[in-house]
Amino acid sequence: MGGGSGGSGGGVANSSSSARPPSSSSSPSRSWGLECLIRRKRVDSADSKRERSQLAKRLSVFDLVAIGVGSTIGAGVYILVGAVAREHTGPALTFSFLLAGTAAALSAFCYAELACRCPSAGSAYHYSYICIGEGIAWLIGWSLILEFTLGGAAVARGMSPNLGSFIGGEDKLPGLLARQTIFGVLVDPCAAILVFIVTGLLCTGIKESSFFQGIITTTNIGAMLFICLAGGYLGFKSGWPGYELPNGYFPFGVNGLLAGSAKLFFSFVGFDCLTSTAEEVKSPQRDLPLGIAISLAICAMLYMLVSAVVVGLIPYYALDPDTPISSAFASYGMEWAAYIITTGTVTALCASLMGSILPQPRILMAMARDGLLPSFFSDINKHTRVPVKSTIVTGCLFPHHFLGQSFLCDRENSDKNPLLEDHNVQGASKEKRRQKIVTWSITIICIGVFVLSSAASAKGLPSVPRFMLCGVGVFLLSGSLFVLTFTDQADTRHTFGHSGGFICPFVPYLPVACILVNTYLLINLGAGTWIRVCLWLLLGVLMYVFYGRNHSLLKYVVPVPNVTAADTR
């Protein structure tokens, strides 16, 4: 294996060298069964990466922090603090941000190790393809497209009202920029223009776009620091009336605090954008974990400072749910502060939109490289060294929206010695038992997490059955976690993928906590959201069945020992 790369996926041969149709008809028949769902690819070796067109490796830690902070701190913090404080947390809003940031950090730890081991533009799609299989990888990649598309669409739609606030209201915008209804469809020219500008900027190159991202992110941080400093001065001068309330610091109790954290968790979504740039980072093993950690730390600190100031200036129930920060300053006669706050909001919208469009072409490119999408999406421009075609397609589609696996990663032994055959047979039998124990333990953990999260979220359920279900979930979760704790991890966890880089701590506890938090958040999504997501996933399944599985580069690959795979390169 070259370049310190390891293999994964049970020794499946590298698709770039072995994915040729055989003469017999036995291998093609495999693609018509369920085997296609579990076929896994290997971590790209240094040799295979040199064979194909490369993205430009120009990103440093500073660039990653600019992209990460800009993608994470959207306009939501300027609006969401009012609604969450009024409905869920009260003055305890800062603690909800702390809990949400801690939950995001759990996912970030797992992302950081996988990004070091498998530095690819595919992000979670790529990791799951290596560790789990093609079927799950396709659904994850398809879901990521939906996530970034809807997130970017929601961000872009906020541009019109915020630009309008500079000139006295959205109705004061010029006719060409104002929202209009054409044939019953709402058209937002401001949003479309912003998307096209950002798309053009991203096509110029990753370094150029990250430089611009750094400028607008710095402006946004400046606006947030103004809120903290000016608000802090007003708070100390007035005695922080928002904290002097008769119903205390936790008016909605622990349930309100947790409910607020669940909503605020989405304010930290954005660090996963960094993992999609892994191929463009100069030193991914060192810089990616640092970029993710520093970005999350800066965002959490700014969120907590802003929330502490806002809920302290005026009582939480007096906050305007639409413009909480501006209304808080206006109550002290500082109406002019609204212009600074709106500037921060507009720059946050631009930075967040860039963070939503940036990963999509790279995920499409990664899926096209594997044959699951047409090769059109994998083309990289020779001059700018970015996937220009995928970026343009992503940008053109946007306006229409306005109109894990450390225990199971294993591979065959690449060094075969006939003298050790009996020992290898015994070791293989022992390894199979270990894998069976781990598989069942993880399955029971997932069942326990689902039962516990469902029971904790079922507020309409009577207390006795609710607590009984919670107890069952805790028993399943803790029992299986106990078994995992005393089960040896696969040796390949520290040799899998590229050597060096960040190692996720507290395994298996931290990944299980991450699963629990994210499952709880998913269960608390509305029924309408789940229906739309299921429809999107159904469309993805149809695309995979009729195109992806038949064009996958792993379609004709036969499992072989790793040493054979290396020889075929």
The secondary structure of 232-283 as a DSSP string is HHHHHHHT-GGG--TT-S-TTHHHHHHHHHHHHGGGGTTTHHHHTTGGGBSS
> Is residue 244 included in any domain, yes or no?
yes
What is the CA angle 327-167-213, rounded to 5?
Answer: 80
Interval 483-534: pLDDT, tens: 988 887 776 666 667 777 788 888 889 989 888 888 887 887 778 888 988 9
pLDDT at position 407 is 36
Interval 241-298: pLDDT, tens: 999 888 888 898 888 888 888 888 878 877 788 889 989 999 888 899 999 999 999 9
Residue 406 has pLDDT above 90, yes or no: no
Number of neighbours of residue 103 by Cβ within 10 angstroms: 22
The region that residue 386 occupies, defined by phi over 0 for left and psi between -120 and 50 for alpha, beta otherwise, is beta
421 compared with 192, residue with greater pLDDT: 192
The Cα–Cα gap between 249 and 409 comes to 47
18 compared with 339, residue with greater pLDDT: 339
pLDDT at position 493 is 64
State residue 334 phi and psi, 5-degree precision.
-110, 60
pLDDT at position 6 is 39
> Is residue 31 included in any domain, yes or no?
no
Average pLDDT score over residue span 327-343 = 89
pLDDT at position 83 is 87
pLDDT at position 240 is 93
Residue 12 has pLDDT above 90, yes or no: no
pLDDT at position 492 is 64
Residue 23 has pLDDT above 70, yes or no: no
Cβ atoms of 539 and 24 within 8 Å: the answer is no
Structural domains in the chain (count): 1
High-pLDDT (> 90) share of the chain, %: 35
What is the CA angle 66-77-523, rounded to 5?
Answer: 105
Cβ atoms of 123 and 292 within 8 Å: the answer is no
> DSSP letter at 43?
P
Residue 346 has pLDDT above 70, yes or no: yes
Interval 369-394: pLDDT, tens: 999 999 999 999 989 999 999 999 98
Residue 77 has pLDDT above 50, yes or no: yes
Poorest-pLDDT segment among 30-39, 44-53, 492-501: 44-53
The boundaries of the domain holding residue 145 are 54-404
> Is residue 154 included in any domain, yes or no?
yes
Report the DSSP beta bridge partners of residue 464. Answer: none
CA 540 from centre of chain: 19
The Cα–Cα gap between 435 and 504 comes to 21
The Cα–Cα gap between 407 and 404 comes to 9
Task: Reduce the DSSP state of residue 208 to 3 states and report it.
Answer: helix
Report the DSSP beta bridge partners of residue 187. Answer: 180
Interval 413-447: pLDDT, tens: 333 443 334 444 555 677 788 888 888 999 999 99
> Is residue 44 included in any domain, yes or no?
no
247 compared with 69, residue with greater pLDDT: 69
Structure tokens at 363: 């995920």
Average pLDDT score over residue span 541-558 = 86
Poorest-pLDDT segment among 142-151, 294-303, 333-342, 488-497: 488-497
Average pLDDT score over residue span 324-352 = 88
**Nearest to residue 385, comparing CAs of 125, 209, 217, 197?**
209
> Is residue 525 included in any domain, yes or no?
no
pLDDT at position 366 is 92
pLDDT at position 302 is 94
* pTM, to two decimals: 0.80
* 10 confidence band (pLDDT: 50, 70, 90): very low
Structure tokens at 135: 């079927």
> DSSP letter at 181?
E
pLDDT at position 25 is 39
pLDDT at position 326 is 86
pLDDT at position 495 is 64
The interaxial angle of helices 206-238 and 189-203, nearest 10 deg, is 130
Residue 402 has pLDDT above 60, yes or no: no
Torsion, CA 389, CA 394, CA 395, CA 399, rounded to 10: 150
Residue 56 has pLDDT above 80, yes or no: yes
Structure tokens at 265: 């968790």
Report the DSSP beta bridge partners of residue 59. Answer: 281
Residue in the block written with tokens 């229409």: 400
The Cα–Cα gap between 488 and 541 comes to 36
Report the DSSP beta bridge partners of residue 181. Answer: 186
The Cα–Cα gap between 58 and 63 comes to 9
- Strands, DSSP E only, in 270-429? none
pLDDT at position 92 is 92
Average pLDDT score over residue span 141-154 = 84
Between the CA of residue 279 and those of 55, 148, 284, 373, 380, what are the distances in Å? Answer: 6, 19, 8, 20, 13
* 33 confidence band (pLDDT: 50, 70, 90): low
> Is residue 543 included in any domain, yes or no?
no
The Cα–Cα gap between 91 and 132 comes to 43
CA 344 from centre of chain: 24
> Is residue 67 included in any domain, yes or no?
yes
What mean pLDDT, rounded, does the chain reach?
80
Which of 527-541 are b and which e, b meaning 16 or more Cβ less than 10 Å from the residue's Cβ? Answer: eeeeeebeebeeebe
State residue 512 phi and psi, 5-degree precision.
-65, -40
- Count the residues in the chain: 569
Q: Omega before 508 cis (within 30°)?
A: yes
| CATH number of the structural domain spanning residue 306 | 1.20.1740.10
Interval 453-486: pLDDT, tens: 999 888 788 888 899 999 999 999 999 999 988 8
* 3 confidence band (pLDDT: 50, 70, 90): very low
The Cα–Cα gap between 169 and 241 comes to 30
Task: Reduce the DSSP state of residue 393 to 3 states and report it.
Answer: helix
pLDDT at position 120 is 84
Interval 220-230: pLDDT, tens: 999 999 999 99
Residue 204 has pLDDT above 90, yes or no: yes
> Is residue 545 included in any domain, yes or no?
no
pLDDT at position 300 is 92
Average pLDDT score over residue span 82-93 = 90
The interaxial angle of helices 284-313 and 61-72, nearest 10 deg, is 40
